[in-house]
Amino acid sequence: MFGYILANMEQLIPEDRYRYQSYYCGLCRALGDRHNALCRMTLTYDMTFLALFLSAVYDAPEALKDQKCRIHPFKKQQYLKSEILDYAADMNVVLSYYNMLDDWNDDKNLLALGEARLFEKECKKAEAAHPRQCQMIQQKLKELSKIEKDNILIPDIPANCFGDLMGELFVPFEDSLNVRLRTFGKALGKYIYILDACMDLKKDLKKQSYNPLVICQKTEFDDILHMLMSDVVSSYQALNFQKDRAIIENILFSGVLIKYELYKKRGVKKK
């Protein structure tokens, strides 16, 4: 259910493209500094967006640095360093760990189990630093697993569950913004869950795997997604901030649809 929250790089002006990349590199650097080099392999654009979004909402202090790395050994790369990026790095590790465990539980994939064990120590470290968020992640993943096993075909039920998980990720601090941030995160999580279900439907039917949209018509998918995106937009507007809006709106209104639009085009070509 992750891997959709990315920028449409072609539509970003160069200045914003470099800034977005500096968040991505900053998250990679934070994963290595706070955890270990292996954790950099878990780097996601989803948590890059989390860092970008929360940094904009809080107008968080950040330091722009440049340094060579193993991926770019010959040229220094600019990257950002901040408390928010450290938080996003911790959430990145926790989500990656539980995603590996989920792969093991679903398919008895020994490789996934081995990978999970490699990250277990770092996950425990992040859980100790952020118990509220990590308890919610564990609770909601268990609920999702039960929903899938019970084959509940009411899409709102699993979507709300995943939305609750995402909502908690968007609340790094308990303060006056937490209600609006949680509302935004939940709306985005519901959207991403249903978007993922739309794209996986054909594969899930073939494998006889759980998908809450099996009783829905494909012709309904666009309308469902538009309705869910309207909730994302309204909760986003309620936060009323200005920093990095062009990048954030590029991601929300264009980037998240890149994979879905490609999926639809492939479907048309096959007909």
- Average pLDDT, integer, range 38-51: 95
**Residue 267: pLDDT band with limits 50, 70, 90:** low
Examine the pLDDT at 242 and tell me if it is beyond 80: yes
Least confident of 41-45, 210-214, 266-270: 266-270
What pLDDT is stored for residue 113 in this prediction?
72
What pLDDT is stored for residue 65 in this prediction?
92
**Residue 158: pLDDT band with limits 50, 70, 90:** very high
pTM of the model: 0.93
- Average pLDDT, integer, range 235-245: 96
pLDDT in tens, 162-209: 999 999 999 999 999 999 999 999 999 999 999 999 999 999 999 999
Average pLDDT in the chain: 92
Examine the pLDDT at 270 and tell me if it is beyond 60: no
What pLDDT is stored for residue 117 in this prediction?
83
What pLDDT is stored for residue 90 in this prediction?
98
What pLDDT is stored for residue 71 in this prediction?
73
What pLDDT is stored for residue 194 in this prediction?
97
What pLDDT is stored for residue 254 in this prediction?
95
Contact between residue 209 and residue 151 where contact means Cβ atoms under 8 Å apart:
no
What pLDDT is stored for residue 112 in this prediction?
64
Examine the pLDDT at 229 and tell me if it is beyond 80: yes
**Residue 268: pLDDT band with limits 50, 70, 90:** very low
- Average pLDDT, integer, range 140-147: 95
Specify which of 28-32, 71-75, 262-266 reaches the highest per-range mean pLDDT. 28-32
What pLDDT is stored for residue 271 in this prediction?
37
What pLDDT is stored for residue 40 in this prediction?
93
pLDDT in tens, 102-138: 765 666 666 667 777 888 899 999 999 999 999 999 9
What pLDDT is stored for residue 78 in this prediction?
92
